Every structure is written in C-alpha cells, then in structure tokens.
Structure 1
Amino acid sequence: MPGSELYEKFMTLHTREGGLVMPNAWDGLSALVLADAGFEAIGTSSAALAASLGRFDGRHGITREEHLEHARLLGRVTGLPINGDFEDGYGVTSEDVATTVEAAVASGLAGIGIEDTSGRPDQPIRDFDEAVGRVRGAVTAAKGRIVVTGRTDNFLQGRPDLEDTVRRLTAFAEAGADALYAPLLPDLDALVTVVTAVAPTPVNVLISPSDHVLTVPELQKAGVKRISLGPALYTHAAEALEQAARALVAGDLASATTGMSFDRVNALLSRTTD
C-alpha cells in the first residue's frame, strides 16, 4: 500500500468516533496474537524491544536499523498498520530525524513517534525550540505519507510541568504533527486539559493517567483518540514467565509448563501474511 493510502487509513482510525486501541507487540508471535484478537493497528515499543535484546530503553541502545527491521517484521506477519515508537528519531539533528522518517516510510510503517528526549540522563528533555524543530523536520519529511506523533516525556522524565507539556504539545500540533502524546499525565483532569488544549489533534494516552487505570469507554469519553500500552503486555508476559520459573525451581513442572499450546502457536504462524 503506497504511503499516502496507508497514511489515510491509519489517520481514519484516529479520527473516527472512539478512535482506536493500539497495543504494542514485541515479536512476531505477540503481533499475531494481537492481530488475531481483532486489533486494527499495532505499535512497536522501544522499551520492550530494548529489553528483549538485553538493553536499556531511552539511551540510544537500539539502532535505527534494528528498530526498522523489528517494525517491518510486525508488519510482514500481520499486514496491519504499524506505528513505530522511535524514541527521539535516532539522530542528533532535525535532518537526522528526517532521514529516520524517510526510512520509516520506505519500510512501510503507518506511523512514527518523535519524542523530545535526548538520551542523556543529566538532561533528558531537549530544549523547547530544538524539540519543536525536530517534530517540524519529521513532518516535512513525512509529506502526508506517515502519521507523525509529537511526544513530550516531561512527566515520564520527572518533570511534572503540565503548563510546559501543553505548550510543547500545542507547538508540535502547530508544526504539523498528526497526533500528540504525553505519557504518565498525573490524573484525569490533566488529561482533559491536554485534550482540550490541543483539539482537534488526536491525543494518545499510555494506558491511563498515573493515578488510576480507567476503562476504554472512560478514556474515550475524556476525548482520547488512541490508547497504547507501551511495554505493559511484554511485562505481563514476563511476569508469567517469572512465576513459571519459580514453580520450576520449586519442582512444580505442571505449573511451570501451562500456557498456550504449540498447536495454537502453529495455527497463528500459519496465518502470517509474510
């Protein structure tokens, strides 16, 4: 599907009544499980991808090409629109970000997120003008072929400044971002403030505000247009693995070996579009 058609298809999911729930996969099988459940689009998770490779998230531990290949895999096996959680765009300059966007379009991605993070623990959030310039560079490169999400990680990085968060998201929208995202907003009031301030640009939420996990209908009522889960499904699976490992250490083979049958695995694999 050409980039412009994929862009329109993915944007339609954002702008329709209720928007979409976009869970994040971490390998081919998890993507197939989500596709089989009926989800219409899938996101990558930079945190889950990094952890699966034994690396830390947000410190440039994953390369652009590694993430692109991962995203291409999810798209190949499912045939669904894939949104790339591409950290800060994998580059020092706005031109580097544009190169990443071009590569994402060439790889068949439907969407790409650009954060205002720096990968530097001493100064994790980029200056305002630099952050806006990078989103503008991404939008210019996108040319209506891929959905660009402008994201600020203020709250995720320990900077609980709602005013600055709204300022950044508003500027990202003015720079042409198709969707906006501020993970870990503290409560529903803050979420509604963001949604109202940037309307009509669609807003993504990571599961819920920090203080309380809401239902999908409650988030939709608040005006959220996209719900993502980040690494939550990956860590859910990891918790099940840890429990199985503890059972195995205790000698309980039965508890350690429950789960999806390999017949089911093969049935899912047989449905790949690859």
Structure 2
Amino acid sequence: MDQRHKARLFKELHRRSGAFLMPNAWDAGSARLLSSLGFPAIATTSAGIAFSLGLPDYAGAVSREAMLERVGQIAAAVDLPVSADLEAGYGVEPEQVGETIRQAIAVGAVGGNIEDFTGEPSAPLFDLALAAERIRAAREAADAAGLPFTLTARTDCYLARVDNPFAAAVERANRYREAGADCLFVPGVSDPDVIAALVKEIDGPLTVVMGLSGSALSVSQLAALGVRRITIGGSLARATYGLIRQAAVEMKEQGSFSFADRQIPDGELCRFFAAFPPI
C-alpha cells in the first residue's frame, strides 16, 4: 500500500463503530512482529524508542531527528498504517509543531500524537490557548501536505495531576477538537466510570492507553464503554526490558538460563524476517 492508501485506511478506523487496538513498536523488528498478528495499524512509542537508544523517557532526551529516523524505519518496515508518537511536537511554538508534522509525513507516518505536557513541574501543561494553537498548526501542516493525516491531540491532565483533571481534560480535548484534532487521547485513566464519562463529554473519538499499572480493562470492555482506539504506550517495551533484567539477575545470581525457555528459536525468527523485503 502507498502512504495515501494507508492514511485513508487509518482515518476510516476512527469513523467506524467499536474499538480497535493499535499496539506500539519501537524498532523495525518489533513492528514486523506486531504487524504479522493481524492488527489494523501500529503506533510508535517514544518511550520505547528512547529506551532502545539508552536514553530516558524525558522531554528533550531524544532529538526530533533521532525520533523521526526511527519512525521512518518502522513505517518502512511494515505494510500497515503507522501513527507516530511525536511527544510535544519538539518545540513550544506552533510553527515548530507544524514542522514536526511535515517531517513525520515525509518519513511515512499517516497519523501522529501531539501532547500538551511541557515537562516543567511548575507548569506541567501548556497554556490552553497556546496548546490549541499548536494543534491548529499541526492540522494546517497536515492538510498542506495533501495527505488525510489523522491528528491525535493528547492531554496529560491525569498524568500531570492537575486540579479537577476530568473537567480539565474535557475542556482541553474539546478545544483541541475545534482546532482540528481527529482523535483525542487522555492517558492515565483506568476507572470505567470515568472513561464512560469522558466518551460522553468529549466531542470526538477517544483513545486510552492500557498496559499501565492498574489498567485491567479488556478490549471488549473498553469498546462497550465507547472507546474508539486503544494503545499500549511503552508498556510492551518496558516488559521486554523487564525480561532482560530478570534474565540478567538469574544468570548473575543463580548461574542458570531458564529465561531461554521462552525465546523464539533462531531459525523461526530468521524465516519470519526473511519473508519481509529489505528496508
């Protein structure tokens, strides 16, 4: 599929009834493994990419250039729509956010998240007026590219623990929708009653993230609540690093190698990856 066709398919997923699960990859290998299992689209995870580069998941730890290089590798590795985790847009000003969208499209993404988290403890979220302008600039950049790009606006009201996070999330999400966002993302929510209320009050498709501590809801339960899109953020990458640490501790402290019982055999992996064209 060419990029335009992938973009149309991805946009259509947000217009259908029911929920779809979009897992998050951090490199070409994880993307290809996920793509082989029947998911309709995949996303990138900025946290997983940062960890794979030996860096923390902090704003600014990974440059826009490095992040988009990896996004491009993931998009080129699979024949599925790829939505990019673009953090806060790699700049404060709306023009910088617009440039990030242009570059994400250039490397093959057909969707992307822009968040309102600043990384500053004293003011964790961008001023609402500025945050809306940043989404508007992202929308204008995507439209100028001539691609039906799916723009997701993420608000971190719950993760930043602002006062009255529900009201703040609803207000911000609806302002971002007015500014041109196709989908609204409110991470950090796991209570089903709160999720149902967000679906009711937010004027647009809602994305939630599962795989965080305390997030025990299933895809069918989330669909029944009215959620449109489900991601897993960096949780799969963190689980992978959890296995590495467990294996390392076992080898160091016990001198044993039971972790190898859960590996995919070398021959199977070689046959699997050989079926894909070179990137």
TM bucket normalised to smaller: over 0.9
Q: Relative to structure 2, which stretch is displaced further, 82-91 or 46-55?
A: 46-55
Contact 1:84 1:111 (C-alpha < 8 Å) held by counterparts: yes
Secondary structure of the residue aligned to 1:246 is helix
Deviations 1:13-34, CA, capped at 9 Å, x for gaps: 2222323100001122111111
2:116 counterpart letter in structure 1: D
Report if aligned partners of 1:3, 1:146 keep a CA contact under 8 Å in 2.
no
Equivalent residues in 2 for 1:230-241 (5 A)?
A: 230-241=233-244
Contact 2:7 2:148 in 1 (8 A): yes
Query: Could you say which residue in structure 2 is the equivalent of 1:224?
Result: 227
* Stretch moving more, 53-62 or 230-239: 53-62
Counterparts in 2 of 1:146-157, with a 5 A limit?
146-157=149-160
AA aligned to 1:77 is A
Letter in 2 for 1:264: E
Counterpart of 1:105 in structure 2 is 105
Deviations 1:132-163, CA, capped at 9 Å, x for gaps? 11011111111153110011011112225110
Letter of the aligned partner of 1:150 in structure 2? A
Q: What is the SS of the residue equivalent to 1:69? A: helix
Kept after mapping to 1: 8 A contact 2:11/2:149: no
Aligned residue identity for 1:111: G
Deviation at 1:198, TM superposition (A): 2.0
Q: Larger deviation: 162-171 or 19-28?
A: 19-28
Write out aligned runs for 1:97-136 (5 A). Answer: 97-136=97-136
| d(CA) in 2 for partners of 1:49, 1:244 | 21
2:249 match: 246
Contact 1:185 1:209 in 2 (8 A): no
Note the C-alpha offset of 1:176. Answer: 1.3
Structure 1 residue 170, shift from structure 2 partner: 0.5
2:18 aligned partner, one-letter code: G
Percent identity between the aligned chains? 34
CA distance, structure 1, for counterparts of residue 12 and residue 73 of structure 2: 23
Of 243, 257, 260, which residue of structure 1 is paired with 2:260? 257
Could you say which residue in structure 1 is the equivalent of 2:140? 140
TM-score, normalised on structure 2?
0.91
Change (3 A) 1:55 1:121: farther
Distance 1:126 1:137 in 2: 15
Change over 3 Å in CA distance of 1:71–1:212 after alignment to 2 = closer
Equivalents in 2 of 1:2, 1:185: separation in Å?
A: 35
Taking the TM superposition and a 5 Å limit, the aligned residue runs for 1:68-79 are 68-79=68-79
What is residue 208 of structure 2 aligned with on the other side? 205
Deviations 1:205-235 (A, max 9, x none): 0017975411100000111111000011111
**Is this contact kept in 1: 2:21–2:39, CA < 8 A?**
yes
In 2, Cα distance between the equivalents of 1:253 and 1:211?
Answer: 32
For structure 1, which segment, 202-211 or 135-144, has the greater mean C-alpha deviation from structure 2 after superposition? 202-211
- d(CA) in 2 for partners of 1:150 and 1:117? 11
The answer for the alignment partner of 1:176 in structure 2 is 180
Structure 2 distance, partners of 1:209, 1:221, is 20
Q: Per-residue deviation at 1:271?
A: 2.6
Give secondary structure in 2 for the equivalent of 1:37.
coil
Q: AA paired with 1:163?
A: A
Structure 2 letter corresponding to 1:202: P
1:166-212 deviation digits (Å, cap 9, x = unpaired): 0000111111101000101251122111111124x211100179754
1:93-133 deviation digits (Å, cap 9, x = unpaired): 10010011111111110111000011323322111111111
**Residues 218, 209 of structure 1: alpha-carbon distance in 2 compared, 3 angstrom cutoff:** farther
Contact 1:125 1:153 in 2 (8 A): yes
CA RMSD between the two structures? 1.9
- Residue in structure 2 matched with residue 60 of structure 1 by the alignment: 60
Check 1:173–1:209 CA distance in 2 against 1; reply closer, same or farther (3 A cut).
farther
Give unpaired runs (5+ residues) of structure 1: none
TM-score, normalised by the number of residues in structure 1? 0.93
CA distance in 2, matches of 1:211, 1:193: 19
